[in-house]
Amino acid sequence: MGYPVYRVASVIESVHALADAVQPSVVVVQAGAPLPLAEAFAETGIPTILYFHDVEFQKLGGSLNRRPGLSFLANSSFTATKIAQAYGFRPAVLPPLVTPGLYRVQSERRSVVFVNPHPLKGVDIALALARRRPDIPFEFVESWELAAASRRGLLREAARLRNVHWRKWELDMKPVYRLARLILAPSRWEEAWGRVVSEAQVSGIPALASRRGGLPEAVGPGGILVDPDVGVTEWEQALATLWDDSSVYRSLANAAAVHARRVDFQEDAVTSAFVDIAQATMRVS
């Protein structure tokens, strides 16, 4: 990975050993029932940040309470608002770090790209759109692991559609984004952000996305938003607007590129903001 990685049987039981070995200035915990781990590090006296990347609070691993040595970050204003509603305080917001060089392409703009064909991500909407618009090529790209039976069923459905190309998970997304005329993100889940939207906007690729969770924040002016529960007809109309109306498409593609260049989302700005937050955490701990 280019940096030290520790593998242990129990992370919680290894906190003190890890703290002694690494002697970190700050610990950032951000996944996998993170609350017990964050609290364990905070108890050692090390300034600790719990960085929220979703709003699945039932999966935190405990009851969230503010305590000395433990600070909080959210990846979007949506996430911060949900935390404020649930717990009575609003954490600082630090958007995802998107390195443009990893994603920027000269897009051929010839396909609809749908990443993560999963029920929570609106795979039913994506399949319905592909059925209704057989003239449009779709790229379905796996991400979350699917149950074997569910995956087989989806593969059968996709195979019936000549315009759907199913792709396995890929580490390098450039070949996928190179095909994209637009990103489809019809999520039924309360996305805390919408990273694929941000990655694609680096190349001026607009999005057709759900008006849910943090997706509107990620899309900004660079796409069209639709309620995921309105029915496929409205989704089809929005897709037709993006795909068929070249004037609207150019306008939204330009807006997507401008949105990707906003000052507070740039790599240096996000990195600098993170350092400032880490230093502030150290001062108050």
For residues 140 and 116, the answer to whether their CB atoms sit within 8 Å is no
* Structural domain count of the chain: 2
* CATH code assigned at 179: 3.40.50.2000
Q: Which of 150, 155, 151 is nearest to 165 (CA)?
A: 155
36-60 pLDDT, tens digit per residue, is: 999 999 999 999 999 999 999 999 9
Residue 163 φ then ψ, to 5°: -95, 5
Residue 280 maps to a domain? no
Residues 112, 178 share a domain = yes
Write down which residue in 77, 94, 111 finishes a domain.
Answer: 94
- Residues 124, 125, 131, CA angle at the centre, nearest 5°? 90
**Average of per-residue pLDDT across 103-125:** 97
What is the average pLDDT value for the chain, to the nearest integer? 94
* 230 and 116 within one domain: yes
Q: Based on the domain organization, do 108 and 167 belong to the same domain?
A: yes
Q: Domain limits at 194?
A: 100-263
Expressed in angstroms, the distance from the first to the final Cα of the chain is 30
What is the mean pLDDT of the segment spanning 239-268? 97
Q: Are 124 and 150 in contact (CB under 8 A)?
A: no
pTM of this structure: 0.92
Is residue 285 pLDDT above 70, yes or no? no
Are 49 and 143 members of one domain? no
Model confidence band, residue 119 (pLDDT cutoffs 50, 70, 90): very high
Q: Is pLDDT of 14 > 80?
A: yes
pLDDT tens for residues 214-244? 999 999 999 999 999 999 999 999 999 999 9
Last residue of some domain: 78, 94, 110? 94
From CA 187, how far away is CA 209, in angstroms rounded? 7
* Residue 279 falls inside a structural domain: no
Same domain flag for 58 and 163: no
Q: Is position 270 within any domain? A: no
